[in-house]
Amino acid sequence: MKLNQLNELSADRPLLTPEIHQPNDFYGHAAILKKYAGFFPDYKVKAVIEHAPRLGADPWKPDLEALLPAIFVSAPYRFHFFRKFTKRDLYAIGPMISYTIGLLNHEEIESEKRRLGKNLLVFPAHSTHRVSVNFDTPKFCEHIELIGKDFDSVRICLYWKDVLRGWAEEYLKYGFECVTAGHMFDPLFLARLKSIIETATLTVSNDFGTHIGYSVILNKPHYYIPENVEISVENDRIFKADGCGFRQMSEIEEVKTAFAGFRSDISSKQREIVDKYWGVTSHKSVKELRELFEITDKMFEQGHYQEISRLNSYKPFINFDLIKSLMTKKNRKFAIFGAGMCGQSILSILQNLNQVYNYSNVMEFFLDNDPQKHHSCIMGKTVLKPQTDIIEEVDFIVVSSIWKDDIENQLLDMGVPEEKIIFGVN
């Protein structure tokens, strides 16, 4: 891909989805399942879709907060992690890549293979919305050059966030070709990724990631290169919320160890590990997936999704008076002050309440005092600097930050009426 193509595919974009639980469509997951099962695009999946195998880690909090009756995970391995927090039905449906139709058809795949020849595909450790990853890039590239001598071509598959950080330019200096699957909100992300992997001969990485399992599932041997990867986050809360703390879990080490030796085939042990954590044998047929959709539809209609009473057990900072106050505020526009994990959790809950109870309240944007977040896109919403003219556009503000007292004083100093301020946290 040319640099302008990389930047275009990686550009920040809103998450456009009909889903009740919007994260279901991260990487286009919900859309892929609906297409596979033969459901219309506007159908709403009545289950949470865990968007990545979080080995050794507790569930992502927004997934627990979604007011849906069931949770879809890749493998049965994940069940006991969810059982600590919820009594909802759990279903293992296997890896999302198995439901995905690649972006390239058979003829295009064969044509690309001829162009690339024997191809080495590299997945560097990648950053996320709120986490920056760094390592010794020159040293890593030298290692890739050494391995690449036995290949006709080398491609670096960059995560969208690192394309925006300018990493493509670094790899291009070494003569490597750079590709990307696109932004995580791009519905074609997995289709593009599948074709990228299918045209490779062997894949390499220097960190744990979904790409390891996907490579094996698509019958591409994978080689893990031990690397000192540094993670940079704003605070420990983000470190834990984004799952960064589980990188040293025994499960992660098990995967890394299994793939640490260079080989041109896939061992039976490697396939066993991928099945254990990615759920290869849990893949559903069209009929089975349709049945799951129908089952969760009925559960949703019967009201089994109402988990509000259980939220207190694992979300003590949520102010449930907020939920009660919304009963009297319908068809209003609001903003959430605080674009961190707390604010995102509040947004997830409010979006689900809107869907379930038809409040018709619209969350317009996030407000945040952190200039680094301004004009970024989080959960499909823009983050703005608090200004009087912007605040006047909404009917009320939900304060969702541990600095709630300071934010309240800030808003009052800006002339915001006290009755317009609602606290989303205790």
Residues 38-82: tens digit of each pLDDT: 999 999 999 999 988 888 788 988 898 888 989 999 999 999 899
Taking the C-alpha atoms of residue 425 and residue 402, their distance in angstroms, rounded to an integer, is 8
Give the three-class secondary structure for 198.
helix
Q: Give 216-250 pLDDT, tens digit per residue.
A: 999 999 999 987 777 766 545 444 444 444 444 78
Taking the C-alpha atoms of residue 144 and residue 153, their distance in angstroms, rounded to an integer, is 11
Taking the C-alpha atoms of residue 359 and residue 353, their distance in angstroms, rounded to an integer, is 7
Q: Does domain 316-423 fall into CATH 3.40.640.10? A: no
408 CB-near residues (< 8 Å, 6+ apart): 399, 421, 423
Closest CA to 198 of 98, 88, 311, 345: 98
Tokens representing 143 are 């290692």
Model confidence at 329, pLDDT cuts 50, 70, 90, reads low
Model confidence at 311, pLDDT cuts 50, 70, 90, reads very low
10 CB-near residues (< 8 Å, 6+ apart): 158, 160, 161, 163, 164, 180, 182, 183
Give the three-class secondary structure for 190.
helix
Taking the C-alpha atoms of residue 141 and residue 58, their distance in angstroms, rounded to an integer, is 34
Taking the C-alpha atoms of residue 338 and residue 336, their distance in angstroms, rounded to an integer, is 6
pLDDT of 238? 44
Tokens representing 274 are 């991928």
Taking the C-alpha atoms of residue 260 and residue 251, their distance in angstroms, rounded to an integer, is 14
* Architecture, CATH, for domain 104-278: 3-Layer(aba) Sandwich (3.40)
CB atoms within 10 A of CB 386: 18
Strand extents, DSSP E, 109-169:
119-123, 132-134, 153-158
Average pLDDT over residues 258-282: 95
Tokens representing 24 are 């279901």
Q: How many H helices and E strands in the chain?
A: 19, 16
364 in Cβ contact with 389 (< 8 Å): no
Closest CA to 20 of 211, 232, 297: 297
pLDDT of 308? 41
165 in Cβ contact with 127 (< 8 Å): yes
Q: What percent of the chain has pLDDT over 90?
A: 54
329 in Cβ contact with 362 (< 8 Å): no
Per the listing, tokens 């960059």 go with 158
Taking the C-alpha atoms of residue 269 and residue 254, their distance in angstroms, rounded to an integer, is 11
Closest CA to 64 of 341, 392, 364, 265: 341
Average pLDDT over residues 121-141: 83
Residue 312 has pLDDT above 80, yes or no: no
Looking at residue 112, its amino acid is E
pLDDT of 243? 47
Q: Give 165-184 pLDDT, tens digit per residue.
A: 898 999 999 999 999 999 99
Give the three-class secondary structure for 357.
helix
Residue 116 has pLDDT above 60, yes or no: yes
State the pTM of this model. Answer: 0.71
The CA distances from residue 270 to 196, 205, 221, in Å, are 21, 15, 9
Taking the C-alpha atoms of residue 219 and residue 203, their distance in angstroms, rounded to an integer, is 10
Q: Pairing state of beta strands 396-399 and 230-232?
A: unpaired
Taking the C-alpha atoms of residue 299 and residue 305, their distance in angstroms, rounded to an integer, is 7
pLDDT of 241? 47
